[in-house]
Structure 1
Amino acid sequence: MIQTERPYVLSIAGLDPSAGAGILADVKVFELNQVYGLSVCTALTMQHDADFRALEWVPLPTILNQCQPLFERYPIEIVKVGLIESFAVLDQLTDWLLQQNPGIQIIWDPILKASAGFTFHAESPYVAFESVLRRLRILTPNAWEAQQLTGIDSPLEAAKVLSQYCLVYLKGGHVEPVEETVTDYFLREGEVLAAYPAPHLPQGEKHGSGCVLSSALAAGLAKGQSISETGRSTRQYMNRYLASTPYLLGFHTL
């Protein structure tokens, strides 16, 4: 088992050739936040920042075969999971991860729809996936995803229900109508732990912003930050990222 000065974080997610989302974006975030990023591919996507065309799923055995040598070589304590083929695959994957390290902390970014509009999953997993939610350290839905995961119209109320099973970081963007202030929330056991308001940026929409946010949370946990510290540092990172360009692809800066 190799040990370095930086903690290791593993991203298990899709490959986006534009590098705005998925494992390429995740590793950028890890490096900027001074953790060593590892990655495993779950899907090959054909897309750029403004257009999603197609994807090919990587079979679960191949995903696990990518993971196995990494767990044999590196002390992995934090895993971020992104785009995944189905909730059945997520169930098996999280079970396998906990077998490798019972203390592992798993963050799931529930990507149900691409920013360009492509919908990955039509099924609602909430009833069948309470057991998976209990395995997670943090769930990071946006407003629409929280609604889809629970069937509850209010995103905040949906997040409160989800937070009965794991920590929930509810992303305040992707809400209509657009307001001057966007607020993210950290929730646990049905209660709001912290709120992170930020001004709405007219040109702040970014391809892959959910990937970036969940990876920043993972990096904070890997560095030993408390939940409140992780939430605060993540929001600060996102503020800089969203304001970095007027385009759909953002720049990563400290």
Structure 2
Amino acid sequence: MRFSINNKPFVLTIAGFDPCGGAGLLADIKTIEANGCYGLAVQTANTIQTEDSFLECLWEDNSFILKQLKTLLERYEISAVKIGIVQNKTILLEILQLLKTYIQNAPVVLDPVLKSSSGYDFHYEALLSEEILKNITVLTPNYDEILQLSEEENLNIKITSIVKHTNLFLKGGHHPSEKGKDTLYLFNGQKFDFYPSEEKIYEKHGSGCILSAAMASYLANGETLENACEKAKKYTEKALRSNFTKLAYHL
């Protein structure tokens, strides 16, 4: 029998370990707990990094990742999943298949981290395949990332190719003309724009991790995808305003 906690849904993050706590599993767990959920984690990689430097990434063995995941899926009633860095398409597909086997109806947020904020390139293979997209709820790239996710050069064609299979939340931190404007493209053809607040914000290490983990948390609490995106953006902006450094506070 799988375990649950009354009124506090389980949210699972599948991501890398950042020892400074600004990104990856630690940032995800802080975000998940701050948004009324209980955080569980599966580690895909161990890193040596700080908020402004990246020295090394050691990928976990695929079989070990899947054993971690299977153990949690068999024990806990997981309400939503966030996926961050994974080594390649092969392990990502295996993760998604295992999730589908155990929790078919739980939303899955995929944050395709192609490069760390300190400049490390994770060398993702192209992710825009139907077999991946049809098994997630929403993809959350920024403008730089979406340009790298397939060989297609035209941005509108890239967007169309994604929303044929899943929902897309395009982050606007690198928007070429409207910085900070995020757009949600729904599978059903609807589109929603989310504009930044006018309050002063400060650059943060791991802001994409925070946003995707917050989104998963709100989905776990029963919000619609549109509302989850809006609330996740507001939570992320709160983290960006939390102090002058690159490490966010989760208050």
TM over 0.5: yes
Check whether the contact 1:185–1:195 (CA below 8 A) recurs between aligned residues. yes
- TM superposition shift of 1:203: 5.4
1:136 and 2:149 correspond: no
Aligned residue number for residue 214 of structure 1: 212
- Deviations for 1:201-250, whole angstroms, at most 9, x for unmatched residues? 77522111110000000001000011221111111101111111222111
SS in 1 for 2:180: strand
CA offsets 1:126-183 (integer angstroms, 9 cap, x no match):
3xx2211110001110111111113455656533431221111111002346x5x520
Matches within 5 A, 1:83-102: 83-102=85-104
CA shift, 1:53, in A, is 0.6
Corresponding residue for residue 170 of structure 1 = 170
The structure 2 residue matched to 1:205, chosen from 191, 203, 220, is 203
**Corresponding position of 2:52:** 50
1:32 to 31, 34, 39: 34
* Structure 1, 199-208 or 214-223: larger mean CA deviation: 199-208
Q: Is 1:223 the equivalent of 2:200?
A: no
Match of residue 182 from structure 1: 180
Contact 1:160-1:190 within 8 A present in 2 as well: no
Superposed displacement of residue 123, structure 1? 3.5
Q: Give the Cα–Cα distance (whole angstroms) in 1 for the partners of residues 216 and 243 of structure 2.
A: 24
AA at the equivalent of 1:7 = P
Name segments (4+ residues, structure 1) moved above 4 Å.
152-157, 199-203
TM-score, L = length of structure 1: 0.91
The 3 A distance-change label for structure 1 pair 204 and 161 is: farther
Once residues 133 and 23 of structure 1 are traced to their aligned partners in structure 2, the CA distance between those partners, rounded to angstroms, is 23
| Aligned 8 A contact 2:11 2:81 in 1 | yes
Match of 1:25, SS?
helix
Structure 1 vs Structure 2 CA RMSD: 1.9
- CA shift for structure 1 position 3: 1.8
Name which of 6, 9, 30 aligns with 1:7: 9
CA distance in 2, matches of 1:231, 1:154: 25
Q: Which runs of 5+ in 1 are unaligned?
A: none
* 8 Å contact kept, 2:11–2:216: yes
Distance 2:154 2:199 in 1: 23
Q: Which amino acid aligns with 1:161?
A: S
Q: CA deviation at 1:49?
A: 0.3
Report the secondary structure of 1:12's partner residue: strand
> 2:230 aligns to what SS in structure 1?
helix
| Number of equivalent positions | 249
Q: Is the 8 A contact 1:8 1:78 kept in 2?
A: yes
Cα distance in 2 for residues equivalent to 1:210 and 1:154? 24
2:82–2:111: 8 Å Cα contact kept in structure 1?
yes
- Is the 1:156–1:170 contact (alpha carbons within 8 Å) kept by the matching residues of 2? no
Pair 1:245 & 2:243 matched: yes
Distance in 1 (alpha carbons) for counterparts of 2:186 and 2:239:
26
Partner Cα distance (1:147, 1:13) in 2: 22
